[in-house]
A = this chain, B = another copy of it.
């Protein structure tokens, strides 16, 4: 097996740390460098080094680069590495939209290098892995979009649900709020609390979810999206409410999901009527999906859960690389997990 030389930009945040954990356990990869403003004890435990700045990292020679830098900052280094002929997976939001207008509409800033957007493609491994074939820059989707798309795409593509209004009630653990200490992540403010931090159509992921739902299924789509902060460290759940169309039932939707994900190691469709919990998926790279019947009301409820740092971020990036390389999709990635 060829050993891929890889570098990690922004290795000291929660996403970077988790990505480094996956890469360290990956038999086909050698991590050549990781960057951080200043790597701390946790970082060096995950990756002994060398650690350097993003600037300094350019001196190394690698085959792949993963960027866990913040949006706005990421694009610059992603393109610098792409210019060296290196394949880059960007976990930030910088290359998720195809146009600078969309980027600015949702991120509130001008895109750092609008002329490069055309080189990139957003990859959801279960959906369009092959689109990455000939691209230098691959964008990893956001954690919420990943869960929502995996839950609804099969049914939307088949016209089973009405996309004119899909309601999404999402909840995530505190690692989703980032590693720098803030008032919002102070233990005393999180413990014994639940906080809706974004509702309606304010969250950046609204744009991302709608854009690809429309693009991939050619169906005009509109969503409401609420995101809440759970007093847990890891894990993310989305509950999706959609009106049924054209005689579809919960069972039709469920069968469609079962079929869509047959043979996929990282999406597990639960028996009809059963929904996943965070414990089911935390510590794994899986997204578990459940379908609940509400046929009498003409709607269906879908519940998807994943680990926001694995399938929602670092794990999915490794999965994307595995597929691109033609390797076993699960290399370096936990399929079974956690519980207590």
A232 and B231 form a contact (CB under 8 A): yes
Number of residues in A with C-beta < 8 Å to the partner? 62
Question: What are 6 A-B residue pairs whose CB atoms fall within 8 Å in the complex?
Answer: A14-B188, A181-B183, A185-B187, A188-B233, A191-B192, A199-B239
Copies of this chain in its oligomeric complex:
4
A293–B198 Cα distance when bound, in Å, is: 11
A167–B298 Cα distance when bound, in Å, is: 13
Q: How far is the CB of A170 from chain B (nearest CB, A)?
A: 9
| Residues 267 to 324 of chain A near chain B (Cβ within 8 Å) | 275, 277-279, 282, 292-294, 296-299, 301, 303, 309
What residues of chain A have their CB less than 8 Å away from a CB belonging to chain B?
14, 17, 42, 45, 165, 167, 169, 171, 173-175, 179, 181-183, 185-196, 199-201, 222, 224, 226, 228, 230-235, 237, 239, 241, 243, 275, 277-279, 282, 292-294, 296-299, 301, 303, 309, 336, 339-340
Q: How far is the CB of A171 from chain B (nearest CB, A)?
A: 6
Q: Which B residues touch A191, using CB under 8 A? A: 174, 187, 191-192, 231-233
Q: Which B residues touch A17, using CB under 8 A? A: 339-340
The answer to whether residues A277 and B232 also contact, given A14-B340, A185-B188 and a CB cut-off of 8 A, is: no
A278 and B193 form a contact (CB under 8 A): yes
Q: Which B residues touch A241, using CB under 8 A? A: 167, 224, 241
Q: Which B residues touch A174, using CB under 8 A? A: 187-188, 191
A233 and B181 form a contact (CB under 8 A): no
